Structure 1
Amino acid sequence: MNLAPVLSFLRELAVNNNKTWMDAHRGEYQRARTEFTELMQMALQGLQQFEPELAGNTAAASQYRINKNDRFQQSNEPYKKHMGAGFARDGRHSPWAGYFLAVGPNGTSWVGAGKWRPETPAVARIRQEIHYNAPTFHALRQHSDMLHYYPDGLEGDRLQRPPKGYDKNDPDLEWLKLKDFFVSRSFTDAQVLKPNFAQEIVTSFRAAQPLVNFLNQALMEG
């Protein structure tokens, strides 16, 4: 596996983000995609060693398209500036919590885990699980492995006011107000190009497994 062509292609795409350029550089795109697919396969194989729910997943079902989705497009550029994958039960667009990977140039590569912006019924179930099982939740988010690989902890927006049904004096209010239940860590280009990058991804995912399991348990019980 050689991720240098991936970073090189995406670096050029960032300043030539149009269909004409992409059509003229289809060969470079295919080579970059091949290298990224190999990285995905290595990450997925590592994940499957400790996540039985992902046993049937494939790299093909995990990779996101490089074309932007019109529903979420915030600019006229037709292509994303990274290559990404999502590993979760039932595939990359699954409603379950899972593991995510993005490779991009200039320090924009990252891995993450959890559930980003769950739907209203799902977020209600997650909040209920935090409320009922606060000691378990705090133990997993404060675990040494979690803090080592994800020092920023749980990320994302929070409600301005307590969610419906919860007291303003609830000791866990800071966490109940979360809209997202997600951790991530970024990588420099130099780190991406190291021979152990795939293993670093898998190790990072494993550190987040307790969070993913906690969230999926909440979603399963809804």
Structure 2
Amino acid sequence: MNFENLFNFLTALQKNNNKEWMDAHRKHYHQFRNDFIAWLDGLDAVLAEKYKGYYPTPGKMGINRINNNLMFHPNKPIYKDHFGAGLDKAPNSADFYIHIGINECMLAGGFWRPDHKTLCSIREAIDYNGEEFVKVINKKSFKETFGELYKDEKLINAPKGFSNNHEHIDLLRNKSFAVAHEMSRKMVLAPYFDDHVLKVYEEMLPFRQYLNKAVTV
């Protein structure tokens, strides 16, 4: 995958964010999309072979649309400034998300603003065995890779059914349980980028496994 050419295409698209320009360059767009899908397929094959329980996710299944949803976000531009995709996409499971864009590149995962049932399941797991979760997110290599949990709105008080004095109250007040590993463009263009993606996936795996267990048990 030639990410340098992809960055150049996305930059041009943002300068000409309209359907007329996209129609005139749709052949190039499909070329980059197909290359990105092929790259995802390669990662998917490696992950499926290496990790038991990995949910095979072909690139065509994982890739996101480049069009913004203007029905819910009418003020956004027509087209996104990035290519995004998810791998290991078992139904109702924590994400592993790849985002390659001109303004931001990252590898992220977990649950962002999950539905009420999912959120309650995660909170119940933390109430029952929060020590295991704390151990995962406080691991030195995890913190070096992701820092803290992804910043989002929190409840002001304890969620219903929990005490403000709960030992894990700061976690229980979260509305999202996700992490992100930001990357420079230089990292994406590096010859060892694929290996870096695999390393971050592995570091994130215990975090995602805890969440997946919470919402399925």
Q: TM-score, normalised by structure 2?
A: 0.92
Cα offset for 1:55?
4.3
Q: Which amino acid aligns with 1:97?
A: A
Residues 162-209 of structure 1, C-alpha deviation per residue, up to 9 Å, x if partnerless? 111110111211100111110001111111111111211111011010
Q: Which amino acid aligns with 1:112?
A: A
Higher relative contact order (CA 8 A, sep 6+): 1
User: Is the Cα–Cα contact under 8 Å of residues 68 and 76 in structure 2 kept in the other structure?
Assistant: no
Aligned counterparts of 1:210 and 1:74: Cα–Cα separation in 2: 38
Q: CA RMSD, aligned part only?
A: 1.7
- Look up the equivalent residue of 2:38 and give its one-letter code: E
Alignment partner, residue 43 of structure 1: 43
Structure 2 contact 40–58 (Cα < 8 Å) conserved: no
Match of 1:84 in 2: 84
Query: 1:179 maps to what in 2?
Result: 175
Moved over 3 A (4+): 49-56, 152-155
| Aligned residue-pair number | 217
Structure 1 alignment gaps of length 5 or more:
none
Q: Secondary structure at the match of 2:86?
A: strand
- 8 Å Cα contact 1:66/1:79 also seen in 2: yes
Q: 1:136 aligns with which of 119, 132, 135?
A: 132
Deviates more, 1:135-144 or 1:48-57: 48-57
- Quick check: 2:44–2:56 contact (8 Å CA) kept in 1? no
**Alignment-derived partner of residue 8 in structure 2:** 8
Q: Distance in 1 between matches of 2:148 and 2:16?
A: 33
The residue number in structure 2 matching 1:102 is 99
CA contact (8 A) 2:70 2:76 kept: no
Q: Higher mean Cα deviation, 44-53 or 28-37?
A: 44-53
Distance 2:127 2:94 in 1: 19
CA distance in 2, matches of 1:201, 1:149: 11
Q: Does the 8 Å CA contact 2:127/2:168 hold for their aligned counterparts?
A: yes
Which residue number corresponds to residue 62 of structure 2?
62
Q: Determine the C-alpha separation between the residues in 1 that align with 2:168 and 2:71.
A: 34
